[in-house]
Amino acid sequence: MLKDYNIEIAKIKSGHSEVNFNIDRNFFSLKANSLISDGNISVLLNIFKKEGLFSFKFSVKGTISTQCDICLDDIEMLIEGEETIFYKITETPKQSDDEFVYIDDSIFKINVYDNIYEIICTTVPMVKSCEKNSLTPKSCNPQMLKYISNNNDDNDEKKITTNSIKDNLNR
């Protein structure tokens, strides 16, 4: 549930404290159109508090189930990432800037669900492949690659070449 990711500000002790989250498919099912549907990730949140200032340092590590962008095979991928967010309590509402996320002193909890989701997403490369990203690296599925290249309209040139090779062989 989303509220499992609430951090109650008033309960945070001065100095250092830690919160752990274990993430699986339930986490991703809370997000509409999630880019990731399954995984096994541990999140360590290190909180440092000093007066009206908080730093939330998120460290995520684990695996996600995803697809190779080249051959579409399912792959298990290792992910690891870190990010720190600084919060500052203000009496008057203030727009967050590059340095701080300002929180009104009437707010008593921060929900970190979106922060965790975004950190996980940023650890995923634009193009994932069996060879580079799979937990058990392998070559792309050759049958699928053949199928894709045969069905790709942009590959007309290749088709012609393949056909002419075939024609030559048939002669």
Given the rule CB under 5 A, which residues bind Zn ion?
A: 68, 70-71, 73, 130, 140
* Pick 15 or 142: Cβ nearer Zn ion: 142
CB of 63 to Zn ion, least distance (A): 17
CA distances from 104 to 97, 101, 109 (A): 14, 10, 10
CB of 130 to Zn ion, least distance (A): 3
Residue tagged 């599925």 (tokens) = 141
* Pick 47 or 130: Cβ nearer Zn ion: 130
Closest CA to 45 of 59, 63, 25, 35: 59
Q: Which amino acid is located at 3 in the chain? A: K
- d(C-alpha 1, C-alpha 123), whole Å: 23
* Pick 116 or 130: Cβ nearer Zn ion: 130
CB of 141 to Zn ion, least distance (A): 6
